[in-house]
Amino acid sequence: MSDDDVLIGCLMEDAWLTLEQVAAACMVEPEWLTRHVDEGLFPHAVSVAGVWRFPSASSRRARRMRQLERDFDAIPELAALVADLLEEMDDLQARLR
């Protein structure tokens, strides 16, 4: 976990973000995020009056997915599966503390 993850986690723990905010925080194009939402790879995203809203944890998910796609040339579905597993590991480690 980097210092950026800690800072983002502390500041935005319960915040809801727009598609543009998540894209900017993760340094991805909004189109990349839209494609992944359309493919169902962000299950907690909701559309409110035609505007996508994401829980703040989606920014970590998007960063992980983009890194997996870039570094390992992973297809989006595989990157999402690995992100799911990493999120589950994070949850389990938090419970152990």
Q: Residue 16 is inside which H or E element, if any?
A: strand 16-18
Q: Per-residue pLDDT tens for 36-93?
A: 999 999 999 999 999 999 999 999 999 999 999 999 999 999 999 999 999 999 999 9
Residue 73 to residue 90: CA distance in whole angstroms: 24
Any idea where the domains of the chain sit in the sequence?
Answer: 3-96
pTM of the full structure = 0.82
Q: What percent of the chain has pLDDT over 90?
A: 85
The CATH code belonging to domain 3-96 is 1.10.1660.10
Q: What is the pLDDT of residue 15?
A: 87
Average pLDDT score over the chain: 90
Nearest of 96, 77, 93, 95 to residue 1 by alpha carbon: 93
Q: Per-residue pLDDT tens for 42-52?
A: 999 999 999 99
From the number of C-beta atoms within 10 Å of its C-beta (0-12, 13-18, 19+), residue 7 rates as exposed
pLDDT at 1 over 60: no
